[in-house]
Structure 1
Amino acid sequence: MAIGIFYGTDSGNSETISNKISGKLGGAKVFDVAKASKADFDGFSSVVLVAPTAGAGDLQSDWEEFLGTLDNADFANKTIALVGLGDQDTYSETFAEGIFHIYEKAKAGKVVGFTSTDGYNFEASRSVEGGKFVGLVLDEDNQDDLTDSRIDAWISEVKGQLS
């Protein structure tokens, strides 16, 4: 079955990242959560959920609305990979916490793709569990030069787990 990639965005960064990931996964279908439906989400057994962090640790507004249409049971039989965007300099105490809000529901399913916090400089994040981020975390504001290599390393880890 194909992989669904769902993103929310205000600046366009999450859309760009989603399209890069889609290409590397072999053409996964990409959805903007502002236009997606629960039926779109239900049509995939494997999903990649891409969310920026709004302000000081909040979920982006389109994601907040879309996530409200889903409950934990909607994740139960899915393999889920999370991608979070954040700004570790300006929001060091709440870095990339947007995906934490999604993870709270997604962990009812099989979450894959936890990544190391090495190479980041932040004070705190609820998106860290067991010493690792609950997904791939990218900082397009301060470390955009590392984005492609981080995506490549993450894809090589999760590709076989998503189907």
Structure 2
Amino acid sequence: MSASIGLFYGSTTGNTESVAELITEHLGQDKVHSIDIAADGIESVSEYEHLILGISTWDFGELQEDWADLWEQLDAVAVAGKSCALFGLGDQIGYSEWFLDAMGLLHERLQSKGAQMVGYWPVEGYNFEASKALTPDHQKFVGLAIDEDCQRSETEERVATWCQQISQEFEL
């Protein structure tokens, strides 16, 4: 059986790649095909039934460089009707006013193209000032929130819990 989940990520320092590897481990390598967008782009998005996209926020709410380079190409990618979950990395202490903003921008872009967004994650356990990655009621993030700078010890458990959640939401 070929992988039904395409996991697309951009990683500058290796943190997003490490989280992508953890997600693949938890969901099963037989189910997930991991794609580094810097090397392979995003053209193959349409080949997968389910999508997981990983993005980090840089500086003052900016997109990670690989995503920034491919941002306009998202308009040409067919995501309508696809189940799509996001995970984002950010620094809630050093960049508290922009925590996970890039994930919020990606969510907005995909949702506007008709993707069926899943994988929302509670805000409990985080301390930040503002984020574009919040649901309208501000009770959840629009995807899994990871802070490798300030809460690295929480990553493994958060990923494991989130993978169980999206397995159900993807109906795997």
TM-score per shorter chain, which class? over 0.9
Q: Which letter does structure 1 place at the counterpart of 2:120? A: F
- The question of 1:113 aligning with 2:143 is answered no
Give me the CA root mean square deviation: 1.4
Q: Is the 8 A contact 2:45 2:79 kept in 1?
A: no
Residue of 93, 115, 118 corresponding to 1:89: 93
Kept in 2, the 8 Å contact 1:127–1:134? The answer is: yes
Q: CA deviation at 1:66?
A: 2.2
**Is the alpha carbon distance of 1:72 and 1:125 closer, same or farther for their aligned partners in structure 2, counting shifts above 3 Å?**
farther
- TM-score (normalised: structure 2): 0.89
C-alpha distance in structure 2 between counterparts of 1:111 and 1:5, whole Å = 14
Structure 1: gaps of 5 or more residues: none
Q: CA offsets per residue over residues 29-58 of structure 1, 9 Å max, x none?
A: 100111223431111121100011111111
SS in 1 for 2:39: coil
Distance (Å, rounded) in 1 between the aligned partners of 2:129 and 2:72:
29
2:130 aligns with 124
Distance in structure 2 (CA, Å) of the matches to 1:37 and 1:138: 23
Q: 2:40 and 2:70 mapped to 1: Cα distance? A: 8
- After TM superposition, the runs of 4+ consecutive aligned structure 1 residues lying more than 4 A away are none
Equivalent pairs counted in the alignment come to: 163
Output aligned runs, 1:1-163, within 5 Å: 2-27=4-29, 28-71=32-75, 74-107=78-111, 108-129=114-135, 130-131=137-138, 132-162=140-170, 163=172
Q: Which amino acid aligns with 1:149?
A: E
SS at match of 1:34: helix
Q: Which amino acid aligns with 1:152?
A: A
Post-superposition shift, 1:72? 7.5
Deviation at 1:102, TM superposition (A): 0.8
TM-score, normalised with respect to structure 1: 0.94
The 2-side partners of 1:67 and 1:33 are apart by: 11
Residues 91 and 148, structure 2, Cα contact 8 Å, conserved in 1: yes
Any conservation in 1 of the 2:43–2:77 contact (CA below 8 Å)? no
| Distance in 1 between residues matched to 2:131 and 2:88, nearest whole Å | 11
Percent sequence identity is 35
- Residue 73 of structure 1 and its aligned partner are, at CA, apart by 6.4
1:64-89 residue CA offsets vs partner (Å, 9 max, x unmatched): 22232122862212110000000000
CA distance in 1, matches of 2:92, 2:42: 32
Say which SS state the counterpart of residue 126 (structure 1) adopts: coil
Counterparts of 2:151 and 2:42, CA distance in 1: 33
Gaps of 5+ in 2: none
